């Protein structure tokens, strides 16, 4: 059995029932066979893969808080400090009822590779809680955030582990978390990113993942002789990534016809109205169904799959494993020519392989949604330098970083004889960087 297969088998045995984690490890290890199989001894002798897969540290804690009725609530809190070979731990917090260690290990492992691919000096991490902000008052959310941070503040810092947002953790939650961090640590420093611009945040962090996704997609299409103008786009999700993807892609002349949340999706054949969506999601914090109140000609569906809607471009921006083989087949049959992953691992492995075999331009999340963490790192840099850059300055840097990620991903795929396989290109380019740093630092 090859070293790669042996390590995968052991990962499954040692982490029973953690299916998303197995899936993320398998997808990356499959690509790494191209590097490792020809020089197994070099990696086996230093147990490189075993060390890469096992997180450096997992912190698990309870989060007690009092709800508006005066009852004590208990949630679970976690932080996984995955890999610090190339820089301090960096990764977002996910607050959602589905959060458990399996999910965080999968996103943390992915994050380690994504961060390396940005070319910036950041290791990988992820954290979160099974707390769900839906239906909670502002006061309850603040109480939860303060309690969460009261435990976690001991383990983070701007040279150690830097937190950011993810599902369920947007600007409001980051503000409350940062306030409590500052109070307990007595420091106003860059231990968190995604802060408001008035207290050290980057002016473009909220937009960065969505904008970066569009910059990546534009690169991908342009370098294959295509463009965004006039293309019909299906986007899932209605959160931070989805909304800012629409904002940017409309500027390139594409027409977005859908958005969704976990209850259902809306379809507006005339093109989604961003002003209406922002009012619902950012001001009222409502559900996507409310779009119909403003645009009665749109359609709302709760039972059907969003991926049944014909489009040229699909941008899954909601959650993991939202596109399976069936959805992939429907998309290809309906004329989809490109897919870029805004969410982390939204396509399962069968769907990914089908897209690649069908000639769809497929850009994996590690490369496509790295704009958020890249701008977070620019925010850390601004905080250390005690300076602030303008929206346009950071946007220019984001544009350049996404283009560099494209080049690195594409060139690496070509170097390993799998031109156009951006999954392999992204995984291998990130691995080369992390592996070199781990080898140089000895057996730790
Ligand atoms: P948000 O919490 O802002 O939004 C998530 C959106 O997806 C919500 O509209 C949510 O609906 C919807 N959603 C969640 N689960 C499902 C589901 N099962 N079916 C349909 N819709 C669902 O998160 P973000 O926009 O920040 O993150 C979206 C994705 O992008 C995640 O995979 C995240 O890991 C990834 N990502 C985010 C980055 C960032 O900078 N924020 C950076 C890189 C990746 P509902 O309100 O009903 O839950």
**Residue of minimum CA distance from atom 36 in ligand 1:** 343
Pocket mutation for ligand 1, best pick of 193, 261, 285, 347 (most atoms within 8 Å of C-beta): 261
Centre of ligand 1 to C-alpha 308, Å, is 20
Tell whether 202 is covered by a domain: no
Listed in sequence order, the residues at least 6 apart from 432 whose beta carbon sits closer than 8 Å to its beta carbon are: 35, 412
Residue 36 Cβ < 6 Å to ligand 1: no
Last residue of a domain, one of 37, 52, 67: 52
Centre of ligand 1 to C-alpha 9, Å, is 31
Alpha carbon distance 348, 345 (integer Å): 7
Alpha carbon distance 48, 437 (integer Å): 11
Tell whether 383 is covered by a domain: no
Q: What are phi and psi of 60, to 5 degrees?
A: -130, 135
Tell whether 415 is covered by a domain: no
Q: What is the CATH number of the domain that holds 122?
A: 3.40.50.10860
When divided into structural domains, the chain yields a total of 3
Q: Are residues 160 and 174 in the same domain?
A: yes
Alpha carbon distance 395, 370 (integer Å): 14
Contact 347, 326 (CB under 8 A): no
Query: Which residues of the chain fall below pLDDT 50?
Result: none
Q: At what angle do helices 240-251 and 205-222 cross, to 10 degrees?
A: 50
Residue 128 Cβ < 6 Å to ligand 1: no
Please report how many Cα atoms fall inside a 13 Å half-sphere around the Cα of residue 203, on the Cβ side: 11
Alpha carbon distance 65, 142 (integer Å): 9
Residue 344 Cβ < 6 Å to ligand 1: yes
**Residue-number span of the structural domain to which 292 is assigned:** 208-359
Catalytic residue among 90, 114, 126, 408: 126
Residue 103 Cβ < 6 Å to ligand 1: no
**What was the pLDDT predicted at 380?**
94
Q: Are residues 217 and 317 in the same domain?
A: yes
Residue 370 Cβ < 6 Å to ligand 1: no
> Six-digit token pair at 278?
């922002």
Contact 238, 265 (CB under 8 A): no
Q: What is the dihedral of CA 41, 42, 46, 52, to 10 degrees?
A: -110
Residue 319 Cβ < 6 Å to ligand 1: yes
Q: Residue holding tokens 């939202």?
A: 322
Residue 218 Cβ < 6 Å to ligand 1: no
**Residue of minimum CA distance from atom 48 in ligand 1:** 262
Beta strands in 101-225 (DSSP E): 124-129, 161-164
Tell whether 440 is covered by a domain: no
**What was the pLDDT predicted at 424?**
98
The answer to whether 126 is a known catalytic residue is yes
Residue 168 Cβ < 6 Å to ligand 1: yes
Q: Residue holding tokens 């950041």?
A: 122
Long-range CB contacts (< 8 A, 24+ apart) of 391-397? 391/203, 391/204, 394/202, 394/203, 394/204, 394/208, 395/204, 395/211
Alpha carbon distance 268, 306 (integer Å): 12
Alpha carbon distance 115, 113 (integer Å): 5
Centre of ligand 1 to C-alpha 145, Å, is 19
Pocket mutation for ligand 1, best pick of 125, 241, 287, 372 (most atoms within 8 Å of C-beta): 241
Q: pLDDT tens, 63-106?
A: 999 999 999 999 999 999 999 999 999 999 999 999 999 999 99
Centre of ligand 1 to C-alpha 319, Å, is 5
Radius of gyration of the chain (CA): 21
**What was the pLDDT predicted at 149?**
98
Q: Are residues 270 and 221 in the same domain?
A: yes
Alpha carbon distance 294, 269 (integer Å): 15
Closest CA to 405 of 167, 212, 126, 124: 212
Alpha carbon distance 335, 338 (integer Å): 9
Centre of ligand 1 to C-alpha 316, Å, is 9
Residue 167 Cβ < 6 Å to ligand 1: yes
Residue 210 Cβ < 6 Å to ligand 1: no
Q: Are residues 181 and 266 in the same domain?
A: no
> Six-digit token pair at 118?
């940005």
Contact 294, 273 (CB under 8 A): yes
Q: Are residues 284 and 354 in the same domain?
A: yes
Pocket mutation for ligand 1, best pick of 239, 277, 287, 307 (most atoms within 8 Å of C-beta): 239
**What was the pLDDT predicted at 338?**
98
Last residue of a domain, one of 359, 384, 415: 359
Closest CA to 341 of 311, 374, 371: 371
Q: What does the buried/exposed string (b/e) look like for 319-352 if buried means 16 or more CB atoms within 10 Å of the residue's CB? A: bbbbbbeebbbbbbeeebbbbbbbbbbbbbbebb
Q: What is the CATH number of the domain that holds 254?
A: 3.40.50.720
**What was the pLDDT predicted at 43?**
97
Q: Are residues 20 and 39 in the same domain?
A: yes
Tell whether 62 is covered by a domain: yes
**Residue of minimum CA distance from atom 37 in ligand 1:** 166
Q: Are residues 93 and 120 in the same domain?
A: yes
Q: Are residues 179 and 233 in the same domain?
A: no
Residue 323 Cβ < 6 Å to ligand 1: no
Q: Are residues 105 and 169 in the same domain?
A: yes
Tell whether 346 is covered by a domain: yes
Q: Are residues 270 and 295 in the same domain?
A: yes
Residue 238 Cβ < 6 Å to ligand 1: yes
Q: State whether residue 127 is helix, strand or coil.
A: strand
Q: Are residues 158 and 60 in the same domain?
A: yes
Determine the atom of ligand 1 nearest the C-alpha atom of 263: 47
**Residue of minimum CA distance from atom 47 in ligand 1:** 262
Tell whether 319 is covered by a domain: yes
Last residue of a domain, one of 359, 382, 415: 359
Alpha carbon distance 262, 278 (integer Å): 17
What sign does the CA torsion over 176, 178, 179, 183 have? positive
Tell whether 377 is covered by a domain: no
Q: Are residues 226 and 302 in the same domain?
A: yes
Pocket mutation for ligand 1, best pick of 129, 237, 301, 376 (most atoms within 8 Å of C-beta): 237
């Amino acid at each position: 059995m090859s070293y790669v297969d042996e390590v995968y088998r052991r990962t499954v045995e040692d982490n029973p029932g953690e299916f998303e984690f197995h899936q993320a490890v398998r997808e990356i290890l499959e690509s790494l066979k191209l590097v490792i199989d020809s020089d197994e001894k070099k990696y086996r002798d230093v147990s490189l893969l075993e060390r890469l897969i096992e997180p450096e540290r997992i912190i698990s804690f309870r989060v007690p808080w009092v709800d508006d009725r005066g009852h004590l609530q208990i949630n679970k809190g976690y932080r996984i400090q995955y890999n610090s070979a190339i820089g301090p731990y960096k990764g977002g917090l996910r607050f959602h009822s589905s959060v458990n260690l399996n999910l965080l290990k999968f996103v943390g492992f992915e994050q380690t590779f994504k961060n390396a691919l940005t070319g910036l000096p950041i290791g990988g991490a992820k954290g979160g809680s099974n707390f769900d902000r839906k239906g909670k008052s502002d006061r309850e959310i603040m109480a939860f955030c303060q309690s969460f941070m009261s435990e976690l503040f001991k383990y983070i810092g701007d040279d150690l582990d830097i937190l950011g947002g993810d599902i369920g953790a947007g600007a409001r939650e980051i503000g409350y978390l940062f306030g409590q961090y500052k109070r307990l640590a007595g420091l106003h420093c860059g231990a968190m990113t995604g802060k408001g611009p008035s207290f050290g945040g980057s002016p473009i962090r909220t937009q960065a993942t969505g904008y970066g996704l569009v910059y990546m997609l534009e690169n991908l299409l342009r370098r294959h002789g295509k463009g965004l103008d006039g293309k019909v786009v299906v986007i899932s999700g209605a959160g931070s990534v989805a909304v800012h993807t629409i904002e940017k892609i409309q500027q390139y002349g594409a027409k977005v016809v859908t958005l969704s949340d976990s209850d259902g999706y809306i379809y507006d054949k005339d093109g989604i109205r961003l002003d209406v969506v922002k009012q619902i999601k950012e001001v009222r914090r409502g559900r996507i169904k409310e779009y119909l109140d403003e645009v009665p000609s749109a359609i709302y569906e709760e039972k059907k799959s969003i991926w049944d809607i014909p489009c040229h471009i699909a941008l899954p921006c909601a959650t993991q494993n939202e596109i399976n083989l069936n959805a992939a087949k429907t998309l290809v049959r309906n004329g989809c020519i490109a897919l870029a992953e805004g969410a982390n691992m939204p396509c399962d492995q069968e769907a990914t392989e089908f897209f690649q075999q069908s000639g769809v331009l497929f850009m994996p999340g590690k490369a496509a949604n790295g704009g958020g963490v890249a701008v977070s790192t620019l925010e850390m840099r601004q905080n250390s330098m005690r300076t602030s850059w303008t929206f346009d300055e950071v946007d220019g840097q984001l544009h350049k970083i996404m283009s560099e990620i494209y080049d690195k991903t594409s060139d690496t795929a070509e170097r390993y004889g799998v031109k156009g396989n951006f999954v392999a290109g992204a995984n291998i380019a990130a691995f080369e960087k992390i592996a070199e740093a781990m080898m140089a630092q000895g057996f730790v």
